[in-house]
Amino acid sequence: MKSPRRKFLALAATAAALPALPRVTAAQTYPTRPVRWIVPYPAGGATDLISRLIGQWLTERLGQPVIIDNRPGGGTNIGTQAVVSSPPDGYTLLFTASTHTINVSLQPLPFNFLRDITLVSGLAELPLVIDVSQKLPVKDLKEFVAYAKANPGKVNVASFGAATISHLAIEFFKATTGVDVVHVPYRGGAQIMADLISGQIQAAVDSLPSSLPHIKSGAIRALALLSAERSSVLPELPAANEIIPGLEVRTFSGVGVPSGTPPEIVERLNREINAGLANPAIKTRFADVGASPVIMTSAEANAFVKAQTEKWAKVIKEAGIKAE
């Protein structure tokens, strides 16, 4: 016969296991209703195309609609807060981006991104490219660095916004090469291209999707990609780190969920998203807008975001960048 203590411990262990049973069952049957994917950017553009392509893929693979919910505002913070506040059940996803690795170092936030969001997977890289006006007398990145050093404080380099990944890339470029260039913040890429083509500005760090049509038409000159490798879209264009070791800026988008989401659901989503990213038709559509699929495990994606957050915190501090 069991002693009273042993009987109590056995009953306590059984009781402790009971709350986990519905959660395990839910993970095994997931999903049983539509999934909402919050994208903290406006509809339209490369970001929207990528989310809708993968959203449609997930709809077919999961057997439930994946509904894209565009929630721009607050520098991605409004949409992110909505996901952080959602139940950790796999029914609310977040489109994550490089902005999430920057914001934490710029302003107090009502959430801790690294703590409150778990990355399910990578998604895409939208590479940054160093562009110059056709009026600038340089043909490649080495010549541009030499020109900037010969003309300190006289070369204007545009970004698509203060405190964005584009701005931080310019600061990182300055620190890596020792050049003294003037940062000119814009609000988006369209006006950058107009002023670069006309020669109103001499150079820019822009996203490849925004620059690509103008590079192909010859209206502007691309010097190098800031990604780790060349792009299949412009295979002749070198990566900057081929010319200047260490000059690399990875842009990143991924899929996140509220922390505490069952690991079985995270693994299922990772498996299905990675299958989509490896699909030839989707890879072709990504390439059309200058994007490259980023296939990662959940652990790899979380480690990458943590490393990028630390990298940009250092750049922001050294450059004295403040939120606008």
**Would you write out the chain's pLDDT as a tens digit for each of its 324 residues?**
445 545 444 444 554 555 544 545 567 899 999 999 999 988 887 888 999 999 999 999 999 999 999 999 988 999 999 999 999 999 999 999 999 999 999 989 999 999 999 999 999 999 999 999 999 999 999 999 999 999 999 999 999 989 999 999 999 999 999 999 999 999 877 889 999 999 999 999 999 988 999 999 999 999 999 999 999 889 999 999 999 999 999 998 999 999 999 999 999 999 999 999 999 999 999 998 889 999 999 999 999 999 999 999 999 999 999 876
Compute CA distances 66 → 32, 48, 55, 76, 288, whole Å. Answer: 12, 14, 6, 20, 23
| Cα(93)–Cα(82) distance, integer angstroms | 10
pLDDT in the model for residue 18? 53
How many CA atoms within 13 Å lie on the side-chain side of 15? 6
pLDDT in the model for residue 14? 53
pLDDT in the model for residue 9? 47
Q: Phi/psi at 131 (nearest 5 deg)?
A: -110, 150
Domain with CATH 3.40.190.10 in the chain: 128-243
pLDDT in the model for residue 107? 87
Q: Which fold does the domain 33-125+251-319 belong to in CATH? A: D-Maltodextrin-Binding Protein; domain 2 (3.40.190)
| Cα(61)–Cα(113) distance, integer angstroms | 28
Q: In the numeric block, which tokens belong to residue 306?
A: 């943590």
Query: Residue written as tokens 């002023």?
Result: 195
pLDDT in the model for residue 187? 84
User: What DSSP element (H or E) covers 24?
Assistant: helix 20-29
Contact between 80 and 94 under an 8 Å Cβ cutoff? The reply is yes
Contact between 168 and 214 under an 8 Å Cβ cutoff? The reply is no
With a CB cutoff of 8 Å and minimum separation 6, the contacts of 162 are: 185, 321, 324
pLDDT in the model for residue 190? 81
Domain with CATH 3.40.190.150 in the chain: 33-125+251-319
| Cα(169)–Cα(175) distance, integer angstroms | 10
Superfamily of domain 128-243: Periplasmic binding protein-like II (3.40.190.10)
pLDDT in the model for residue 26? 64
Q: What is the pTM of this model?
A: 0.86
Contact between 162 and 193 under an 8 Å Cβ cutoff? The reply is no
The type of residue at 245 is P
Give the residue among 268, 256, 254 at the shortest CA–CA distance from 31: 268
Contact between 11 and 214 under an 8 Å Cβ cutoff? The reply is no
Compute CA distances 86 → 79, 93, 161, 260, whole Å. Answer: 11, 9, 30, 11
